């Protein structure tokens, strides 16, 4: 089972690199096993070119210790683990420093729902976390990054909002699998770019009505969905 997950996570990381969302060794993808005991994640600082399943690192969800692998796991591993521990149904997590989504994170602004393209994938604004305190940064920075994400989602549904902007840092996205998490990261970047272009053309643009938001999200997600083929 872990070998299959390593293959899937490796393919997702390569797909992320091919998407153009990452440069150099930035960004990482992880996936969790069906028993929710172990997480497979990209190794830290390793180039995407030539990356193979054998390079993936397996860590324990419980304590983050390496279970399998000769390489160090991603430096963002503790953030991924916090998301898995708190968001039921999430099977894959992605972190990037993609251009437009990171710009919104640096501006510390949520991405508003300015049109139905956004509403097709996010049932509300893409949320932005609060700034982290000096103590949170100095002590367990990566774990605390995860904790401020969880804090921001205290009254939100992470399956209806499959991504977040960490203030001053960048975006994280997730999905039911590593591949879906990459897909959602790509969508998140597109929405960030689309919102940037819209506000450049009309600085006073306002969010769409809730009725239109809920219609577009509902026709793609949930029991009443009817978009696509059954």
Annotated catalytic residues are 120, 227
Measured CA angle at 95 (ends 208, 66), to 5 deg: 145
Locate 191 and state its tokens: 């929405």
CA 194/CA 116 separation, integer angstroms = 11
In the three-class reduction of DSSP (H, G, I as helix; E, B as strand; rest coil), residue 174 is classed as: strand
DSSP assignment of 79-91: HHHHHHHHSTT--
State the first-to-last Cα distance of the chain, in angstroms, to the nearest integer. Answer: 28
Vertex 189, ends 134 and 28: CA angle to 5°? 60
What is the three-state SS of 121-172? Answer: CCCCCECECCCCCHHHHHCCHHHHHHHHHHHHCCCCCCCCCCEEEECCCEEE
User: Measured between alpha carbons, how far is 126 from 93 in angstroms, rounded to an integer?
Assistant: 16
Structure tokens at 142: 């990566």
Residue with tokens 């690192």: 57
């Amino acid at each position: 089972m872990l070998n299959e997950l390593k293959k899937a996570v490796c393919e997702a990381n390569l797909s992320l690199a091919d998407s153009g969302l990452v440069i150099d060794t930035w960004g990482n993808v992880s996936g969790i096993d069906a028993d929710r005991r172990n997480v497979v994640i990209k190794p830290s600082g390793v180039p995407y070119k030539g990356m193979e399943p054998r390079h993936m690192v397996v860590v324990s969800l419980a304590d983050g210790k390496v279970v399998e692998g000769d390489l160090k796991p991603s430096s963002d591993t503790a953030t991924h683990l916090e998301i898995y521990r708190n968001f039921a149904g999430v099977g894959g997590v992605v972190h990037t420093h993609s251009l437009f989504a990171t710009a919104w994170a640096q501006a510390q602004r949520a991405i508003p729902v300015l049109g139905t393209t956004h509403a097709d994938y996010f049932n509300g604004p893409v949320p932005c976390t609060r700034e982290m305190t000096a103590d949170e940064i100095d002590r367990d920075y990566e774990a605390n990054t995860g904790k401020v994400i969880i804090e921001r989602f205290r009254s939100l549904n992470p399956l209806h909002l499959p991504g977040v902007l960490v203030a001053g840092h960048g975006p994280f996205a997730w999905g039911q699998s590593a591949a879906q998490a990459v897909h959602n990261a790509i969508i998140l970047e597109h929405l960030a770019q689309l919102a940037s272009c819209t506000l450049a053309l009309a600085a006073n643009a306002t969010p769409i009505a809730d009725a239109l938001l809920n219609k577009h999200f509902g026709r793609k997600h949930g029991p009443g969905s009817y978009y696509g083929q059954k």
